[in-house]
């Protein structure tokens, strides 16, 4: 069996300068997955364990998994822009990935603040008649954070997108109630992981299993 390639670090050009990206490639690329990490002002980076778990999960399904650092993190240039500039950066990365690998099926995934950014990206892509084929939102930021320090006006998703939403029962950063309030008007189901906190300590394998169970593999055959 052909093994996947080692994780590679690349610098890609974005609107605010270089964007540092971790790239996890399968032996044969059948799709493109963009995975966004949690809030950069609270220690979020592309090495986050949830983002890493999502990347490996998508790679196993046949996607090349791209994990960018948001502005001001690692070697990524620019300053935190509360989701505005980050959305533009992700759209630029998608265009660059498609120029390299072609118009393959696209998947978006995000954890916490990264999920909030991806809802914005999905709406922009749908406006261009190119919605993502798959979407996974884990511990997504919505509403007012539990500490009251941040508020997210997370947009509703285009009706054509039916994401896999995963949230921890005991999330102490973004309460489960917040995500249910966001999902309810859209009739979107939410998969609740019993006993899981915001960072899914001891529960990362559940995320991996849910992705494998709910998303079709592009590498079959």
User: From CA 74, how far away is CA 94, in angstroms rounded?
Assistant: 20
Q: What one-character-per-residue DSSP string does 104-160 give?
A: --EEEEEETHHHHHHHHHHHHHHHTT---SEEEEES---EE-TTSS-EE-PPPPPTT
The domain spans of the chain are 8-214
* Pair of tokens at residue 69: 């650092």
Q: What one-character-per-residue DSSP string does 168-221 give?
A: ETT-SSS-HHHHHHHHGGGT---EEETT--TT-TTTHHHHHHHHHHHS--S---
User: From CA 118, how far away is CA 35, in angstroms rounded?
Assistant: 9
What is the percentage of the chain residues whose pLDDT exceeds 90?
92
pLDDT for position 130: 78
Pick from 135, 103, 89: which is nearest to 31 by CA? 103
Coil/strand/helix, residue 7? coil
Q: pLDDT tens across 97-149, in order?
A: 999 999 999 999 999 999 999 999 999 999 876 789 999 999 999 999 999 98
Mean pLDDT in the chain?
95
Q: pLDDT tens across 30-77, in order?
A: 999 999 999 999 999 999 999 999 999 999 999 999 999 999 999 999
Q: What fold characterizes domain 8-214?
A: Rossmann fold (3.40.50)
User: From CA 98, how far away is CA 6, in angstroms rounded?
Assistant: 21
What residues form DSSP beta bridges with 9?
A: 22
pTM above threshold 0.85: yes
Contact 92, 15 (CB under 8 A): yes
């Amino acid at each position: 069996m052909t093994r996947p390639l080692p994780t590679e670090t690349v610098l890609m050009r974005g609107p605010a300068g270089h964007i540092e990206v971790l790239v996890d490639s399968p032996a044969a690329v059948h799709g493109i997955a963009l995975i966004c990490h949690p809030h950069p002002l609270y220690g979020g980076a592309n090495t986050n364990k949830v983002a890493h778990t999502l990347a490996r999960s998508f790679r196993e399904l046949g996607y090349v998994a791209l994990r960018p650092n948001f502005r001001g993190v690692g070697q990524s240039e620019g300053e935190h822009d509360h989701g505005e500039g980050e959305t533009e950066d992700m759209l630029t990365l998608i265009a660059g990935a498609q120029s390299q690998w072609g118009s393959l099926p696209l998947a978006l995934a995000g954890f916490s603040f990264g999920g909030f950014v991806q809802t914005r990206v999905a709406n922009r892509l749908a406006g261009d008649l190119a919605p993502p084929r798959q979407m996974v939102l884990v511990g997504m930021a919505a509403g007012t954070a539990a500490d009251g320090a941040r508020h997210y006006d997370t947009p509703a998703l285009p009706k054509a997108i039916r994401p896999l939403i995963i949230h921890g029962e005991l999330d102490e950063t973004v309460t489960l109630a917040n995500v249910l309030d966001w999902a309810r008007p859209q009739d979107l189901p939410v998969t609740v992981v019993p006993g899981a906190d915001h960072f899914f300590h001891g529960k990362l394998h559940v995320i991996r299993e849910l992705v494998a169970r709910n998303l079709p593999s592009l590498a079959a055959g």
